[in-house]
Amino acid sequence: MKVDLYEVMSRATLSRRRMLQGATALGAIAALPMAARMAAAEAHGNVRAEILKIPGVGMGSPTDSDWQKVGEMCLDATKANVAEGEFAGVELTFFGINNNGLHNILFRGLLKGWETYTGAKINWIDLAQADYNPRLQQSIATGTVDFDILAMGAPLEGDTASKGLLDEMPDWVKAQIEMDDYVGYLKAPVGTWDGKTYRISIDGDCHTFAYRKDYFGEGAIGGAEVPKTWQQVNAYSKAVVGQTDPLTGQAAIGYLDPLKGWGGFGFYFLENRAAAYAKHPSDPAWLFDADTMKPRVNNPAWVQAIQDVLDLIATPGAYPADQINADPGTTAFSQFLAGTGSSLMWWGDVGSNARTSDTSVVGDVVGFGINPGSDRVYNSASGAWEETYNEAPNMAYLGWGVYVTNRVSADEKKRKAAWSAAAHLGGKDLSLWMSAYPSGFQPYRNSHFQYDEWEAAGYDRAFVEDYLGSNADSYNHPNAAIEPRIPGIFQYYSVAEDELSKIYAGQYASAQEGADAIAAAWDKITDDIGRDSQIALYKASLGM
């Protein structure tokens, strides 16, 4: 009982019966908000369960009408902050990609109900993935930014937030989208830029280890245990050479490294190996020295990662024929899902496609884990290897976000409209649906890992726990390898891909020599863009 309540009751001469009546009444009044909250929570829970039924797992891909329905059902959060018709007459321009008929195309449907309710109109700039970055960079460089809302990968914040192009997120948006629910790595400092919040996350990105369960176990060709370190990955990849794949009957293949570039994205796959060696728990930086931007790509840790790949290239039969011409898309969709090779690192698409894609033959034998670790880790500060186990999941690409540009900053009505639209897309319930159904986005909130919801929606519990669990473990890992959000980050990756192509083709005398060439090219890019500003932004992006 509360003190003031006790005093009130003791001053009055109350009969026991009256006091109990009063206490009951007070309790009822005190419980009112709780009851209301419970009702609201139930309704909220119902929304989550109801949207997961649209169209229903196994009922085919959602269509535009499904997207519109889901968008309308998730409008409660918007209605709490925006009056009906409040944005009548406001026109916004939304800039994003249209990959696989998703992203912007999906957003159109999801925002349809929002447009109807608020009265705002959204115009769309749809771009193919390959055109996205050049168009964005040209808009920035030529001062012709012609969009108010921007769907963008977090690594490009170095090119946008650093140039003051973005509008800072208002507090009401943070409350509406329940940012506390984000997984660990998406919170500050990765969730902020220089202490300010610009991004409404709609995606979480990391690479997880997908493997064939039939390769491992007692008597299996890959060994009794699933490899936990890159040393073990290489050892089993060599051990299975000459054996037969238990599923397809073809030659058994171990780990699948993509050896061909992929517009810069191929570099993430060397990073997977290097993270375990190079990402020391005491240092958030692992690609460059934070104080000088001196590349670390030619330190012993990275050279070891390159050497691991070269060792497999030198082992006949360790890779499928023509692996030198296999990019990451090939390793995932033409090789692993089609039954060639027994493990690889990829984004969540491999998990979601393993069971749903018509071309996948591995749905029943696929397992997931976090990025393999290493028996030793290189400490850049001391310049020496440390013989301790280390693991560092690679947060490759960090995830997509929705941003508002500073074009709307001066017009409060338009600004609120832009943030409201963005918040709708990044809403807690809507994001559950987006992570459960084809959208192009992975789970990124702690609430996305409530496996009961997935099971109730029709997913196989064991599979979802395995697949989503590897994501959750990676996101919340204390030694996650974080991608630096510095300007031109994909320039570094792209030029590294060119050099890696030469390294893998044997044009350098050693891995070290090739790595030195990458480092020299990276130094050149840093000088081109501006070393001092890159140092400052590198530190800001890692929260140093």
Partner 1 sequence: MSSSGDLLHVVTNDSISAGRKAFGRAITWGSAVCMVIIAACQLAQVLGWWDLGFENWRPTLYAYVMWAVCLCWGQVLQYGEHGKRTLFVLPAALFVISLTVFPLLFGLIIAFSDWNLSSPDGRQFNGLDNVRQMWADPFYWNAMLNMVWYVLAILVEYAIAFGLALALNAEIRARKFFRVAFLLPLMLSPVAVSWMIGKSMLEARFGPISRLGRALGWDNPSFFESPWIAKATIMLMDAWTFIPFMMIMILAGLQAIPKELNEAAKVDGANGWRAFWEVTFPMMLPVSITAILIRIIFKLKLADIVIAVTSGGPGGATDTVTSFIFREYRDRSNVGYGTLLAMVYLVVIILVMTLLMKLADRYARPRT
Q: Which of 76, 84, 225, 322 binds partner 1 (CB under 8 A)?
A: 322
Which positions from 384 to 423 touch partner 1 by CB under 8 A, shown as an x/- string? ----------------------------------------
Please tell me whether residue 263 binds partner 1 under the rule CB under 8 A. Answer: yes
* 327 belongs to the binding site for partner 1 (CB under 8 A): yes
Q: Kindly state the smallest distance separating residue 497's Cβ from partner 1, in Å.
A: 8
Mark the segment that binds partner 1 (CB under 8 A) among 185-193, 293-301, 304-312, 523-531.
523-531
Is residue 264 within the footprint of partner 1 (CB under 8 A)? yes
- Piece in contact with partner 1 (CB under 8 A), picked from 221-229, 267-275, 315-323, 348-356: 315-323
Q: Output 360 or 374, the one with its CB closest to partner 1.
A: 360
**Candidate list 14, 140, 175, 365; residue touching partner 1; CB under 8 A:** 140
Cα 9 from Cα 11, distance rounded (Å):
6
Angle (CA) 468-473-475 rounded to 5° is 95
CB atoms < 10 A from the CB of 344, how many? 25
Shortest Cβ distance from residue 500 to partner 1 (Å)? 10
- Smallest distance, partner 1 to C-beta of residue 96, A: 19
> Residue 342 or residue 435: which is nearer to partner 1 going by CB?
342
Per CB under 8 A, the list member of 94, 255, 346, 490 interacting with partner 1 is 490
Q: Which of 9, 241, 456, 529 binds partner 1 (CB under 8 A)?
A: 529
Contacting residues for 502 by C-beta, under 8 A, at least 6 apart? 508, 514, 517
Single residue of 299, 340, 374, 405 touching partner 1 by CB under 8 A: 340
- The residues, any chain, with a CB within 8 Å of residue 269's CB and separated by 6 or more, are 207, 257, 258, 328, 345
Look at residues 496, 486, 500, 497 and name the one whose alpha carbon lies nearest to residue 522. Answer: 496
Q: Please identify, using beta-carbon distances, which residue of 246 and 438 lies nearer to partner 1.
A: 246
Candidate ranges 116-124, 128-136, 428-436, 468-476; the one touching partner 1 (CB under 8 A): 128-136
Provide the minimum distance between the beta carbon of 313 and partner 1 in the complex, in angstroms, as a whole number. 10
Which CB atom, from 324 or from 544, has the smaller least distance to partner 1? 324
Which string of x and - marks every residue 20-59 that binds partner 1 (by CB under 8 A)?
----------------------------------------
Which of 134, 217, 281, 458 contacts partner 1 by CB under 8 A? 134
Amino acid type, 38: M
- Residue 338: CB minimum distance to partner 1, A: 8
Residue listed under structure tokens 């003791």:
10
**Amino acid symbol at 319:** Y
Edge-to-edge strands of the sheet including 366-369?
343-346, 208-212, 366-369
CA 411 to CA 417: how far, in whole Å? 10
Q: Which of 329, 333, 375 is nearest to 354 (CA)?
A: 333
Q: The dihedral of CA 217, 220, 224, 230: what is its sign?
A: negative
Stated as kind and residue range, the H or E segment containing 201 is strand 200-201
CB 409 within 8 A of CB 390: no
Strand partners, 373: 229
Distances (CA, A) of 321 to 37, 142, 180, 318, 324: 61, 45, 48, 9, 8
Q: 224-253: which residues touch partner 1 (CB under 8 A)?
A: 250
Which residues inside 59-118 make contact with partner 1, applying CB under 8 A?
A: none
* Burial (CB count <10 Å: 0-12, 13-18, 19+), residue 252: buried
Give whichever of 175 and 251 is closer to partner 1, judged by the CB atom. Answer: 251
Q: How far is the CB of 541 from partner 1 (least distance, A)?
A: 14
Residue 282 backbone zone (phi > 0: left; psi -120 to 50: alpha; other: beta): alpha
Among 320, 363, 438, 543, binds partner 1 (CB under 8 A): 320
Our CA dihedral for 243, 249, 250, 251, rounded to 10 degrees, sits at -10
Could you tell me the smallest distance in angstroms from the CB atom of residue 32 to partner 1?
56
Report the nearest approach of partner 1 to the CB of residue 291 (Å).
Answer: 20
Q: How far is the CB of 498 from partner 1 (least distance, A)?
A: 6
**How many amino acids of this chain bind partner 1 (CB under 8 A)?**
46
Residues forming beta bridges with residue 343, ordered by sequence position: 211, 255
How would you label 56-84 residue by residue, b for 16+ Cβ within 10 Å and e otherwise?
eeeeeebeeebbbbbbebbbebbeebbee
> Is residue 338 a contact residue for partner 1 (CB under 8 A)?
yes
Preceding amide of 55 cis, omega within 30: yes
Applying CB under 8 A, the residues found at the interface with partner 1 are 130, 133-134, 137-138, 140-141, 158-159, 162-163, 250, 260-264, 320-325, 327, 334, 338, 340, 487-488, 490-491, 494-495, 497-498, 501-502, 504-507, 525, 528-530, 533
